[in-house]
Structure 1
């Protein structure tokens, strides 16, 4: 039985480097002072919500690829738990910064992005296994 993620050309080191890079970018933007974001003219999604969602979706996808084990549940579940946990950690770090705030809403958006990536990874993995 082959892994759902094993046949990509990137080395294991490259996969984990991508995870570290994404986690580093998320860390930096989580701790630097950023002026409040506002919705686009006429409504829309606030920029910070979009960045949270997409950032944690990307981190989850990178983790799923890096974990790439033969045990689908382990790699998919581990990527969701790792990315969501990292989002919680970032919020606790922000709670200690005078110019940032702790937000359970941000944690929920982070987990939602992670859940979307987890769902996509699961569907892709199942489709590849059925080939």
Structure 2
């Protein structure tokens, strides 16, 4: 089966697209649409959207940095993703229709950490000795 490889430039381009989409979504005036509570009615829908957006950022970063050692890659991915989330929150401070939120930043971190854990689990499953270790 032929494998499909995406070039390094394209991977970084995707990181830039995701980061730009997050920034635009964070600074535009929010509309009055849809429900305010997310699934299970516990957290606001925006927290789920934050986690999803920063999971996408973390995943594209991980793919762009895939040549690094896994542990270093995951630390960098989480730190950069959360750092970008902090930057976005700080950019919202002067906007009258937005606000700085530590809960939003926590949701960003949850998304990034979940991707890091899934990425690490995927790396473990792909190790040649992982299949024989469970037999």
Using the size of structure 2 for normalisation, the TM-score is 0.83
CA distance, structure 2, for counterparts of residue 127 and residue 35 of structure 1? 43
Paired with 2:16 and 2:51, the residues of 1 have a C-alpha distance of: 18
Q: Paired residue for 2:30? A: 34
Moved over 6 A (4+): none
TM-score (norm 1): 0.86
Other structure's SS at 1:50 match: helix
Structure 2 stretches lacking a partner, 5+ long: 130-135
SS in 1 for 2:41: coil
The within-5 A match list for 1:107-122 is 107-122=105-120
Higher relative contact order by CA 8 Å / sep ≥ 6: 1 or 2? Answer: 1
Q: Distance in 2 between matches of 1:61 and 1:96?
A: 30
Q: Choose which of 100, 111, 122 in structure 2 pairs with 1:124.
A: 122
**Aligned residues of 2:93 and 2:100 also touching (Cα < 8 A):** yes
5+ long unaligned stretches in structure 1: 1-6
Whole-Å separation in 2 of the counterparts to 1:50 and 1:42 = 11
Q: Which residue of 2 aligns with 1:4?
A: none
Question: How many equivalent pairs are there?
Answer: 125
